[in-house]
Amino acid sequence: MTATTLYPPLEPHRHGMLPVDALHTLYWEESGNPHGMPVLFLHGGPGAGASPLFRRFFDPAYYRIVMFDQRGCGKSTPLGEYRANTTPLLVSDIEKLRALLGVERWLVFGGSWGATLALAYGQAHPAACLGFILRSPFLGTRAEIDWFFEGGRLFHTELYAELAAQVPPAERDDLLAAYTRLVFHPDPAVHLPAVRAWSRFECLRASLRGPARDEPLPQSDLLDIGLARLEVHYFRHGCFLAEDQLIAGMPRVAHLPGVIVQGRYDMLCPPLSAFRLAGAYPGADLLMVPDAGHTAFEPGTIAALMGATERFKLQGHFRRAV
């Protein structure tokens, strides 16, 4: 196995559905070593869902790999549901899953929005965390949400033009407001072109050289609906975080070990956020990947992430019961 080779594909050894309220039921799964170091993988988006590819960042002989689809995502039901869907509720869901699985403490691994949720969860429940691996961290600030559009306008102008083309000219000064109207419209003739355009605008900007071969892009209108509706919902509510809440809360978890992996040319979550986070997180190492964008599946990023999972294994932050 080389540094840029993922572990072989593996299947979950158990999975289930966890009702968390009267509306939402979450899909969860475990793979790897049932008695190994627990690691919680948090997917991005919001709304993207957990791809089986992410199991392969972890040594299955050592790690107890826990993944789940957040509210409204993937195999969780109802898909694309934005009601009763907030960051504090997602944090509460993680604790319900931890109790269900009988995990005392786990390593928390998240990229992009998954890093947002990892930090929000860790700051709410630091005693439940062994440490963090955070890729392309998104801090949920207004400047980052604005960059989602402005970065596209400046660097992926043709994709921005496609996104704006779905909106009447009079509404193009505020694309987030316009897409709030479009993606939640009850008529599929209105919302389907909008969610497809939103998903394309995001996914085609993720990789430095265009879509990576193994990148888990949305593959259906249902997945596009989940991604677009939940991202719009979270963006328009400031990710249900106070401005700069995650930086302000870092003293609660700054004693825990961490690794921050950032692509130098990330057009969705620019390096400034990673540098700000590293400055507030003395327990973390910042690894800048010089030839990568946003996706986890570019060679340098794969190497950095797998090196991080190997580091936690070798440093012995968990003693496996034999």
- Model pLDDT, residue 310: 95
How many residues are listed for the chain in this entry? Answer: 322
pLDDT of residue 72 exceeding 70, the answer is yes
- Cβ contacts of residue 198 below 8 Å, gap of 6+? 163, 179, 183, 224, 227, 228, 231, 232
Spacing of C-alpha 36 from chain mean position: 23
- Model pLDDT, residue 221: 83
- Burial of 231 (C-beta count, 10 Å sphere; 0-12/13-18/19+): buried
65 or 1: which carries more pLDDT confidence?
A: 65
Helix or strand or coil: residue 62?
Answer: coil
The answer to whether residues 69 and 50 touch, using CB atoms and an 8 Å cutoff, is yes
- Model pLDDT, residue 17: 98
**In what side-by-side order are the strands of the sheet with 25-32?**
14-19, 25-32, 63-68, 37-42, 106-111, 129-135, 258-263, 284-289
- Model pLDDT, residue 1: 41
Mean pLDDT check: name the lowest of 154-158, 221-225, 278-282, 292-296: 221-225
- Model pLDDT, residue 220: 79
CA 142 to CA 279: how far, in whole Å?
20
Which of 70, 71, 68 is closest to 24 using CA atoms?
71
Which of 275, 258, 255, 254 is closest to 266 using CA atoms?
275
- Model pLDDT, residue 223: 85
User: 129-135 and 258-263: which strand pairing?
Assistant: parallel
pLDDT of residue 138 exceeding 50, the answer is yes
Active site includes 273? Answer: no
Q: What angle do CA 39, 41, 45 make, to 5 degrees?
A: 165
DSSP state of 131: E
Question: Quick one: pLDDT band at residue 263, thresholds 50, 70, 90?
Answer: very high
Catalytic residue among 69, 93, 224, 266: 266
Helix and strand numbers, DSSP H then E, in the chain? 10, 8
- Model pLDDT, residue 5: 86
181-236 pLDDT, tens digit each: 999 999 999 999 999 999 999 999 999 876 544 444 445 788 899 999 999 999 99
Question: Quick one: residue 73, left, alpha or beta (phi over 0 = left, psi -120 to 50 = alpha)?
Answer: beta
- Model pLDDT, residue 280: 98
- Model pLDDT, residue 161: 97
Beta bridge partners of 37: 63
Q: What is the mean pLDDT of the chain?
A: 93
320 or 5: which carries more pLDDT confidence?
A: 5
**In percent, how much of the chain has pLDDT > 90?**
90
Active site includes 207? Answer: no
User: 37-42 and 106-111: which strand pairing?
Assistant: parallel
Give me the residue spans of the domains in the chain. Answer: 14-141+240-315, 143-239
pLDDT of residue 93 exceeding 80, the answer is yes
CA 248 to CA 233: how far, in whole Å?
24
Catalytic residue among 76, 112, 207, 273: 112
Active site includes 92? Answer: no
User: Which CATH number is correct for 14-141+240-315, 3.10.20.30, 3.40.50.1820, 3.40.140.10, 3.40.50.720?
Assistant: 3.40.50.1820
Which of 295, 144, 120, 156 is closest to 231 using CA atoms?
144
